Amino acid sequence: MDGCIFCMIAGGVIPSPKVYEDELMFIISDIYPKAKKHYLMIPKKHYKLLADMTEGDAADLSRCLKKLPDLAEGLGLTNGFRLIINQGTDAGQTVFHLHVHILGGEELPI
């Protein structure tokens, strides 16, 4: 998608080290971390919102989420992690390519 920063990272146009990548998604460190460990899990397919997902997108995202527990230790998330998906302006969404924040590496405030 033209002008989408996460599509540009996916395509290597903007360099950002991928800490994990497979056929469906990649994981990068958030450039402005809100916790000791702050990653973004980004589906390779561009869509803006949960509301835009096809059934296939939903199945793919589910598969991506299922992988996270196996990846957690390698990402330094040994004692758990928090997932956040911001949706829309009130939630503070700034990048309109669906992504999942992964926070941890420390005890997080409630």
CA dihedral 9, 13, 16, 22 (to 10 degrees): 50
3-state percent breakdown (helix, strand, coil) of the chain, nearest 5:
30, 25, 45
Interatomic CA distance for residues 24 and 86, integer angstroms: 20
Residue 93 binds ligand AMP (CB under 6 A): yes
Residue of 3, 17, 56, 92 interacting with ligand AMP (CB under 6 A) = 92
- To the query of whether residue 99 is one of the catalytic residues in this protein, the response is yes
Question: What is each CA distance from 5 to 59, 70, 99, 106, in whole angstroms?
Answer: 24, 27, 12, 28
Shortest distance in whole angstroms from residue 92 CB to ligand AMP: 5
Catalytic hit among 38, 46, 97, 99: 99
Give the footprint of ligand AMP on residues 27-86 (CB under 6 A): 28, 30-32, 40, 86
Catalytic residue positions, numbered: 99
Residues that bind ligand AMP in the complex, under the rule CB under 6 A: 5, 14, 16, 28, 30-32, 40, 86, 92-95
